[in-house]
Chain A
Amino acid sequence: GNSVTQMEGPVTLSEEAFLTINCTYTATGYPSLFWYVQYPGEGLQLLLKATKADDKGSNKGFEATYRKETTSFHLEKGSVQVSDSAVYFCALSNSNSGYALNFGKGTSLLVTP
């Protein structure tokens, strides 16, 4: 079956630091991959996605590249801001996931001034 593994948090960074949140997956075929962000008290919002190998998703300064050879989709940002403090979820879907997305456990990020 499908599964998504994210690095455990919380991650604490100073403003303007470089961010990496690791995500690896197990799936058959060619899944689509997603990063969602959840700000305090809110639902999940799509941050970026990639639907095939070597695709790079990007949004709001965040990037992630679909690496089929390493089954990874690591999230990166060159310079984080306090407003990036949130929980980040990696997710995948493919024909084997039925109707649903498979989510990782989430990684909490705290950016301090």
Chain B
Amino acid sequence: ETGVTQTPRHLVMGMTNKKSLKCEQHLGHNAMYWYKQSAKKPLELMFVYSLEERVENNSVPSRFSPECPNSSHLFLHLHTLQPEDSALYLCASRDRGGGTEAFFGQGTRLTVV
């Protein structure tokens, strides 16, 4: 248990569906992240929030829409996804600073059919 909780753990959705991934941390961290992990590919940073403000958006398609309503919660809203979006989506949090590690959730395994 890392202190970062992601729900659901598994999600199967059709290309026309709308769904949301949820991430929650009660570690008092001030930065939260969404990463995408596809088979045979490096870990891809998608979004970074610091103090509830989005500070990085790495050219992610608009069918992925993040939301950070407070410092403990982070959502990833999904709509009209493609099969190639099937992946493990990882949430992480940390205290911003050079020496601090990130704490990861267990991920949501997303399958788009």
Contacts of B106 in A (CB 8 A): 42-43
Smallest CB gap from A49: residue in B = B101
Known: A32-B98, A43-B105, A49-B101. A105 touches B42 (CB 8 A): yes
- Asked if A43 and B43 make an inter-chain contact with CB atoms under 8 angstroms apart, the answer reads no
B31 in contact (CB, < 8 A): yes
Contacts of B104 in A (CB 8 A): 36, 43-45
- Asked if A89 and B43 make an inter-chain contact with CB atoms under 8 angstroms apart, the answer reads yes
- Asked if A106 and B48 make an inter-chain contact with CB atoms under 8 angstroms apart, the answer reads no
Known: A100-B33, A103-B43, A106-B42. A45 touches B2 (CB 8 A): yes
Query: Which of A15-23, A75-83, A91-99 lies at the binding interface?
Result: A91-99
- Asked if A34 and B43 make an inter-chain contact with CB atoms under 8 angstroms apart, the answer reads no
B61 in contact (CB, < 8 A): no
Contacts of A93 in B (CB 8 A): 98-100
Complexed CA–CA distance, A106 and B40 (Å): 10
Interface size class of A (residues with CB under 8 A): 20 to 34
**Count of residues in B whose CB is under 8 Å from the partner chain:** 27
Closest Cβ of chain B to A56, distance in Å, is: 15
Identify which of residues 1-27 in chain B touch chain A, using a CB-to-CB cut-off of 8 Å. Answer: 2, 4, 6
A53 in contact (CB, < 8 A): no
- Asked if A100 and B99 make an inter-chain contact with CB atoms under 8 angstroms apart, the answer reads no
Contacts of B102 in A (CB 8 A): 44, 46, 101
Closest Cβ of chain B to A42, distance in Å, is: 6
B101 CB contact (under 8 Å) in A31, A46, A99, A100: A46
- Asked if A103 and B42 make an inter-chain contact with CB atoms under 8 angstroms apart, the answer reads yes
A24 in contact (CB, < 8 A): no
Contacts of B2 in A (CB 8 A): 43, 45
Smallest CB gap from B4: residue in A = A43
A94 CB contact (under 8 Å) in B43, B98, B101: B98
- Asked if A99 and B42 make an inter-chain contact with CB atoms under 8 angstroms apart, the answer reads no
Residues of chain B whose beta carbon lies under 8 Å from any beta carbon of chain A:
2, 4, 6, 31, 33, 42-43, 45, 48, 50, 55-56, 90, 92, 94, 96, 98-107, 109
